[in-house]
Amino acid sequence: MKQSVLNGERRHDLDGKIVSLLFYEPSTRTRTSFQQAALKLGALTVATENAKEFSSAVKGETMKDTTRIMNAYHFDAVVIRADYEGAAEEAASVSDSPIINAGDGAGQHPTQSLLDIFTIYEKFGKIDGLKVAFVGDLKYGRTVRSLCYLLGKFKDVEVHFVAPDSLQMREDILEYLKESGIKYELHSDINEVAEIADVFYMTRAQKERMKEGEEFSPDGYRITEALLKKIRKEAIILHPLPRSNDFNEIPEELTDDPRILIFRQAENGLFTRMALLKMVIE
């Protein structure tokens, strides 16, 4: 898909197909790249950008009923970003057409993890044996949870979770990694892993999901000039974006460091979502 887009090919894989994009939470990358992916493959889209406000969810309609309606209108796939965990699963339980989880609250963001793993693979030519450090708010960051799930499918991967105690990775993912035979360690400062990680996966504090009393101080969870001097030159720094202005986990002035691949990572979202739509619809 990447070569095809870069070569400017006009594709017809999904000519005549129509994809529904139902977004209950804000999105720049996931919504736009899914829409563009559908168009690039010849499909059309019907998009609801702010379903929380402008769909009948306002009137109390459930996810199951909304999905039944999407089925009634014969969409070929429904892409859903919801504001609570388990929403996509709920939709899938009543759907005849494919449901794609585009993020469900603090639960999972599986299509993000596909573009993440593709970006890592593009750089290293492998996933096995890599050391991956996840940094920041790991309790509410759904992209980290999904990428851990994928990493569990590979061999000899080592995972380092760098977060304050109150925002550390939740037990379900730690349990899953254990069952998958993946070694992991918990840390409280990025400096502890600066010289060992191949991949630094930075995250923003998910302020919108934090409970009263939960706070995040960015010290120890940011990329700084001093830290870049310690990080190996072959390592890469990723972030699902958006990066936060308040916490500055990857400061604007460091964006051009060649190890920071955040915009190539986002671009890969287009290609992986094209591949996914083709696989589930064609």
Q: Is there a catalytic annotation at residue 29?
A: yes
CB of 109 to ligand CP, least distance (A): 6
109 is catalytic: yes
The three-class DSSP label of residue 241 is coil
Judged by beta carbon, residue 144 or residue 241, the one nearer ligand CP is 241
- Which residue number, 66 or 112, has a Cβ lying nearer to ligand CP? 112
Q: Is 273 a catalytic residue?
A: no
Q: How many residues does the chain have?
A: 282
* Residue in 17, 31, 40, 109 annotated catalytic: 109
Q: Annotated catalytic, 187?
A: no
Task: Please report, for residues 50, 85, 144, 219, the alpha-carbon distance to residue 171 in angstroms, rounded to integers and kept in the order given.
Answer: 32, 16, 13, 24
Q: Which residues of 213-251 are buried (b: 16+ CB within 10 A; e: fewer)?
A: ebebeeebbbbeeeebeebeeebbbbbbbebbeebbbbe
81 labelled catalytic:
yes
Could you tell me the sign of the dihedral formed by the alpha carbons of 269, 275, 278, 279, in that order? Answer: negative
Pick 30 or 119: Cβ nearer ligand CP = 30
Judged by the rule CB under 6 A, the positions of this chain that interact with ligand CP are: 27-30, 103, 109, 112, 240-242
Peptide bond into 242 cis (omega under 30): yes
Least distance in angstroms from the C-beta of 170 to ligand CP: 19
Residues pairing with 21 in the sheet? 47, 79
Q: Which is nearer to ligand CP, 77 or 241 (CB)?
A: 241
- Find the shortest distance in angstroms from Cβ 154 to ligand CP: 22
Annotated catalytic residues are 29-30, 59, 81, 109
